[in-house]
Homo-oligomer: A and B are copies of this chain.
Amino acid sequence: VRGEIIAIGDELTCGRVVNTTSAYAAARLTAAGHEVIAITTVGDDVDRIGRALLAALDRSEFVIVTGGLGATTDDLTNKAVIHTLKRPATFYPEIFRKIQEYAATAGPEVRLSLEKLAWLPKGAHALHTEAKSAGYFLVQDGKPVFFLPGVPHEMKELLDEAVLARLEVWDGADQKTVRSRLYRLFGLAETEVNRRLRQFEQGKGDLEVKIGYYPVFPEVHVSLSVAGVDQDAVEEVFLALDREIVSRLGEDLYGFDEETLELVVGRGLKDAGCTLALAESCTGGGISARITSVPGSSDYFLGGIVAYSNSLKQELLQVAPPILETHGAVSAACARAMAQGARAAAKADLALSVTGIAGPGGGTPEKPVGTVFMAMDDGADVRDFSFRFTGERWQVQAMASATALDLIRKWLVTRG
């Protein structure tokens, strides 16, 4: 079903907050087979919210509105709905009772301000009777309109638990089958990926085939969608194209769909029964943070040393002073010593080290900003790698972190 998303909030139109909720909602709706034809972001303004809502109702079969439902005085979504759709404000005692339970420990002033959350446009239905969060839907011109809070985790909870199921019920029109997959790559340029896959872009008979290319720094993602009425034909074409794409992308394809590089690396380490230690300098803990963002990472990640200062490199990683004096901290020799030191300190199967110049300061003509050395010690062998990344500090750090994770991934692949 075709729908659209309206995100409300001055924090979004002023650019103070990045609109992650709409991306999440769009991803979930797309995964459920719907098509999001537009995402509109407007500020906290009754008139603009109203016009966006009317325009969306005109074009789409369903609308999801996020934000502007809170208890603070700048939340104006309900007011806009009340005016625009001519649905008088109505007090919902059962919603008020829930709010009071939730706010039992809050002071009287907070409770008073929360009463606002129980005044909704006429015809509103609470989305989830047990949810603490604001959120309701109403049916306008036969189309469902969902109102969700703008706070990301509250919106996600209600979307997953209450909206998607209700949308299924409305879903009766065009019963197309859609098969899609996302291919995640690190190490190939977008134009090269396009060159390899361009030949597969045409539709096949009645089936629509769509291949999309997305540079998501520092990665490139590719999507494949096959849609059509004949379920078997869709499946057959999808599987054939999937095989081709996987084969053309080769070893730079690291994962599918929701799989992140840190997830793939973690799974590989766990499957191989390998433990990992890190020694980070210019990435400053960024690789450790990515590794430990994965639940269960303590099964394979022993720890890391963020050796920002030379004294810590000597003290905890046993980097010999002559190495620092002769080659400097940003050198292949230092990276090798750091990897060996981390492996020994943590008694890990594999250790990886990173040392470099993230910038903007610290560069020299011989070692400009972006110069990064890495090393891996797996007990059998110590190998080092040198890179010259470009861009700002965050880009050098992000490229170095992703490259380090990819080195571990490729080490696991080679190891088999």
Chain A interfacial positions (CB closer than 8 Å to B): 9-20, 22-30, 36-44, 48, 52, 55, 70-74, 106, 109-110, 113-114, 151-153, 182, 189-192, 194-195, 198, 201, 210-217, 221, 223, 277-278, 280, 283-289, 291-293, 295-298, 301-309, 311-312, 315-316, 345-347, 358-362, 391-395, 397
Contact = CB atoms under 8 A, between A and B. Distances in A.
**Which has the most chain B C-beta neighbours within 10 Å: A305, A360, A361?**
A305
Given A15-B26, A38-B48, A345-B316, A286 B285 contact: yes
Contacts of A74: 210-213
A41 B21 CA distance: 13
A306 B308 contact: no
Nearest to A195: B109
Given A14-B26, A194-B73, A284 B295 contact: no
A13 B38 contact: yes
B15 A28 contact: yes
Given A298-B309, A302-B309, 6 more contacts: A72-B213, A298-B308, A303-B308, A303-B312, A309-B346, A311-B346
B27 A198 contact: no
A15 B11 contact: no
A42 B37 contact: yes
5 contacts: A13-B39, A278-B306, A292-B358, A298-B308, A304-B305
**Which has the most chain B C-beta neighbours within 10 Å: A43, A74, A151, A306?**
A306
Contacts of A214: 9, 11, 16-17
Contacts of A283: 289, 292
Contacts of A73: 194, 198, 201
**Which has the most chain B C-beta neighbours within 10 Å: A12, A15, A42, A198?**
A15
Nearest to A302: B309
A151 B191 CA distance: 13
A315 B285 contact: no
A368 B211 CA distance: 45
Given A12-B26, A303-B309, A216 B17 contact: yes
Contacts of A198: 73
Closest 7 A/B residue pairs (Cβ): A284-B292, A15-B27, A285-B288, A15-B26, A285-B285, A39-B41, A303-B312
A306 B303 contact: yes
B39 A38 contact: no
Contacts of A36: 13-15, 43
B285 A212 contact: no
A308 B301 contact: yes
Contacts of A25: 15
A361 B295 CA distance: 8
Contacts of A361: 295-296
A14 B315 CA distance: 49
A218 to B, nearest CB: 11
Contacts of A20: 18
